[in-house]
Structure 1
Amino acid sequence: MHPYDYADTTFAAYEPGDARPPRRNRRPVAIALGALLALILVPVAVDRFATARVESRTAQAFQAGMHTPSAPEVHVRGFPVLTQLAAGTLRHVDITAHDIPASDTTGPLPVSELSLRLHELKRSDDDTEALARSAEATALLSYADVSDALGLEISRGSRPDQVRASVLLPTGDDITVATTVSVLSGNRIAFKDFQVTGGLLPDVGRVALSRVFERPIQLRNIPQGLHLRSVTATESGLTARLSGESVTFRSDDGSRGDAVEGDSSYGNA
């Protein structure tokens, strides 16, 4: 054999075209990945849709019952929500509402902001109310509203349990007094032990202020079952903390009292 013939045979056996591995069909892999993503994303999307719907319906129900100018912020916590709806109980629901009006004009304060954390919220059998196994709440009472309720100009005092009141006497003198705030039974806020901190207050003025401060302010425009635990004077107003069990949201029957609307549709996706 000629040397060149041998070389040609050897080189032909190692041509680049013969060295390439066979192509694999990647389409089944892509289909499998797409199916897997669909199995993951579709249930999540459906659950998020159900969550948004129940949050919206709960906000509408709360707004109707509490007569707020705008719908509150509602957040249903926990995943998946669909299983909670199927069981008829929402494990954790947070609600933040603003500008809740007073139930009448003779004493109860409007609530500037009410933040609720509800646990195990479910409907009643007759769909007329919603019931939370337990709840915690924070209510903000602005100093402007407290001033209107007492007929005095109220502001923050020097201590967390104290507010300051300014009194303009008929003589034109401006008197400043300080009084402590505390909790009474029946969701009432008491003002006690006022002391003059600026100016001279005549005896007749002391008697008049005593009558003003001896009348506690009652909170009625809050969900039934919440009980006032503490009240603190802050920069923005009086911050009231409440908690309770079997907190009820029910429809308005003409005298709202401390009840709030509980739409029967809150648990329907």
Structure 2
Amino acid sequence: MRALRILLVIVVVLGGIFVAVDRAAVYFAESEAAKRIRITGATIGSTDVSIKGFPFLTQLAGGGVDEVDVEITGIETAADGRRLRISRMNAALRDVELTDGYSGATAARASGTAVISYADLTKAASDGVAIEYGGTNKVKVTGTVDVLGNPVSRSVLSTVTLVDGRTLRVHADKVPGEGVPGLEKLVRGKTDFDREVGGLPSGLKLQKIQPTADGLEISVTGTDVRLAG
């Protein structure tokens, strides 16, 4: 019995050591992964990586990880000559394969949400245009145009849609013209626009866009998504 108790103590101690080593390895891997994440054609403000599952070391030995959650803030890219910034993006990666001597990673599947703030959307719009939340499924767009030398300002409620799975389109539902010839065309020239949403990790595609009080929420999904390397 004494030998059995000693054996049990040894097993418990070794198990504790393994768990501690495994968790330390996860912490190190998360930190290194966050530093290595790159997105072609875009700059990144910061990243946070959370590796799921236990034990991690046995997953690592197999060359992959079952689940990884990633949060990226401040993704900036050029869109139609203007900078378009994604405030933050959260992605859940599944069946992540480690490649290039553990310096790269590709997820078999991924899903998440990207958010573009109205301040950032305003910067990507035409000069002199301001965009804010307009209520259920709408954005409010305000622009000023010149009519016979006089500034005329109009605010419109607009619908935001996705075009070809990569471009967001802002289109006014109605422009109050008040009988001024050509005013609607002038206003739409300011308030209606398309902007390509670039800067997403390779393999991710836009699925659905939804205006909310915090900004435009864009659902993203993808396969063979490459985040690091």
Assess same fold via TM > 0.5: yes
The 3-state SS of whatever aligns with 2:77 is coil
Find the counterpart in structure 1 of residue 134 from structure 2. 157
Higher strand fraction (1 or 2): 2
Find the counterpart in structure 2 of residue 89 from structure 1. 64
Structure showing greater radius of gyration is 1
Q: Following TM superposition, by how much is the alpha carbon of 1:154 offset from its aligned partner in structure 2, in angstroms? A: 0.5
Render the CA deviation track for 1:185-225: whole Å, top value 9, x for unaligned: 1411112343136x848443321333345542111111111
CA contact (8 A) 1:108 1:219 kept: no
- Asked if residue 192 in structure 1 is aligned to residue 168 in structure 2, the reply is no
The 3-state SS of whatever aligns with 2:202 is coil
The 3-state SS of whatever aligns with 2:213 is coil
- Alpha-carbon separation, structure 2, partners of 1:95 and 1:61: 12
Find the counterpart in structure 2 of residue 246 from structure 1. 224
CA contact (8 A) 1:108 1:217 kept: no
Higher helix fraction (1 or 2): 1
- Alpha-carbon separation, structure 2, partners of 1:238 and 1:62: 24
Q: Structure 2: any 5+ residue segments left out of the alignment?
A: none
Partner residue of 1:219 out of 186, 197, 204: 197
Q: Considering only aligned residues, what root-mean-square deviation do their CA atoms show, in Å?
A: 2.7
Aligned residue pair count: 223
* Moved segments of 4+, more than 6 Å: 26-30
- Asked if residue 183 in structure 1 is aligned to residue 162 in structure 2, the reply is yes
Q: Following TM superposition, by how much is the alpha carbon of 1:89 offset from its aligned partner in structure 2, in angstroms? A: 1.1
- Alpha-carbon separation, structure 1, partners of 2:82 and 2:53: 39
- Alpha-carbon separation, structure 1, partners of 2:111 and 2:105: 16
The 3-state SS of whatever aligns with 1:196 is coil
Find the counterpart in structure 2 of residue 14 from structure 1. none
- Alpha-carbon separation, structure 1, partners of 2:100 and 2:181: 60
- Asked if residue 58 in structure 1 is aligned to residue 45 in structure 2, the reply is no
- Alpha-carbon separation, structure 1, partners of 2:180 and 2:116: 31
CA contact (8 A) 2:75 2:87 kept: yes
State the TM-score, normalized to the length of structure 2: 0.85
Q: Structure 1: any 5+ residue segments left out of the alignment?
A: 1-25, 250-261, 264-269
What percent identity do the matched residue pairs reach? Answer: 26
Task: Evaluate the alpha carbon distance shift between residue 27 and residue 105 of structure 1 in structure 2; reply closer, same or farther with a 3 A threshold.
Answer: farther
Q: Following TM superposition, by how much is the alpha carbon of 1:237 offset from its aligned partner in structure 2, in angstroms? A: 0.9
Find the counterpart in structure 2 of residue 228 from structure 1. 206
Task: Evaluate the alpha carbon distance shift between residue 137 and residue 156 of structure 1 in structure 2; reply closer, same or farther with a 3 A threshold.
Answer: same
- Alpha-carbon separation, structure 2, partners of 1:144 and 1:48: 40
- Alpha-carbon separation, structure 2, partners of 1:207 and 1:64: 38
Find the counterpart in structure 2 of residue 69 from structure 1. 45
Q: Following TM superposition, by how much is the alpha carbon of 1:115 offset from its aligned partner in structure 2, in angstroms? A: 0.6
CA contact (8 A) 2:168 2:194 kept: yes
Render the CA deviation track for 1:209-260: whole Å, top value 9, x for unaligned: 33345542111111111111111111111111110111123xxxxxxxxxxx
The 3-state SS of whatever aligns with 1:206 is helix
- Asked if residue 207 in structure 1 is aligned to residue 185 in structure 2, the reply is yes
State the TM-score, normalized to the length of structure 1: 0.73
- Alpha-carbon separation, structure 1, partners of 2:80 and 2:160: 22
Render the CA deviation track for 1:130-176: whole Å, top value 9, x for unaligned: 3110101211101011111112101111222x211112344344311
The 3-state SS of whatever aligns with 2:21 is helix
